[in-house]
Chains A and B, each alone.
Chain A
Amino acid sequence: MSRFELEIWDDETEKVTFYTGRWEDSPSSETDKFFEKHYDLERDATQELMSLIQDTIGTDHGAIDDFFNRHENTVTALPHHGQVTIDEIKFYFPQFPLRLYALRVNNREDLVILFNGGIKSGATNKESGELNMKFIEANEFATKIEKALQEGEIYIDDETRTLKYFNGSSEIIL
């Protein structure tokens, strides 16, 4: 597996710093690739998802459980599904075509890493072609990040709401 860099994707919202992953030899981050690819194909959904990230999560509420409830192994898929109870009440985004994978760092409400995603074309990820590849990749990214956090290779700087490499550098390559 190639190495990837963790870099800030958006630190201008009030409540959350969003990170993304970028393969070392790639000019674009995984999250940028996702949005660039789907903006023309699914413009309305892409705009709603961007507003969910920047407005609802980043500005209004933070990365709370209500918006991170579509758990898929280590990562969570955005947008949230509509369950408003532990049972089956669905609310909002029931037919939403896109999935973007994310990881809340240590389940915090102010640090989120966004990965890539795709179109949910089948009933399951496995039936959704390319999405399944992105799902597997996001989980690999996330597992590596969580391991690095546990082992102290990276840590959270609470003052700046950022991630740092063990030597204090903001450049994080895993």
Chain B
Amino acid sequence: MRSKIAQRIIDETPKEVRIFVRKYGDIVVRINQLIREKGYSQKDLADKLQKRPSEISKWLSGDHNFTLRSLAKLEAELDAEIIYVPKKDSFHVQRGGQVKATASKAKPVAGNLPFIDTRKKVAELEEPVAA
């Protein structure tokens, strides 16, 4: 069961607000985790980022939220990803209403393995055999 007012409010909450809150929650947890792992204090972090502690406090608080640039600096200093953006480049193949396939174009595991374009393969297989 869920309180009726809770259900009503969450139903009326714009999707973008929920995405924003969730992503911020994820970032808070991630930064806390990394800082604990590194054993940093505010002063340590300020030293690493070559800023005064008061500037760090101001930078991370008040009326301005984290920017992509500030997150990038933190990622560089903490030497770990805070936010991750999927880098899949997928394409879709549909042949004559019979065959459907979606392939993800990703980096090969080893540098010497070529990426196989399945569209070409399908085309090759369907080429008429010469009499």
Contact = CB atoms under 8 A, between A and B. Distances in A.
B42 A66 contact: no
16 contacts: A10-B3, A47-B12, A50-B9, A50-B10, A51-B10, A52-B21, A52-B25, A54-B6, A55-B25, A56-B22, A61-B25, A82-B61, A87-B53, A88-B57, A89-B57, A92-B24
Q: What secondary structure prevails in chain B residues at the interface with A?
A: helix
Interface residues of B, number: 38
A153 B111 CA distance: 65
Given A12-B1, A87-B42, 5 more contacts: A32-B4, A51-B18, A61-B29, A89-B56, A89-B60
Interface string A68-95: 0000000000001010111111111011
A85 B35 contact: yes
Contacts of A91: 28, 31, 60-61, 66
The 8 closest A-B pairs by CB, nearest first: A90-B61, A56-B25, A87-B42, A51-B21, A47-B13, A10-B2, A50-B9, A51-B18
A88 B22 CA distance: 23
B45 interface: yes
A156 interface: no
A84 B31 contact: yes
A29 interface: yes
B118 interface: no
Contacts of A173: none
A52 B13 CA distance: 12
Nearest to A52: B21
Contacts of B31: 84, 91
A60 to B, nearest CB: 6
Interface string A92-116: 1011000000000000000000000
A64 to B, nearest CB: 7
A11 interface: yes
A39 B4 CA distance: 13
Contacts of A57: 25
B68 interface: no
A93 to B, nearest CB: 9
Contacts of A4: none
Contacts of A61: 25, 29
B13 A51 contact: yes
A20 B32 contact: no
Contacts of A87: 41-43, 53
Contacts of B17: 44, 47-48, 51
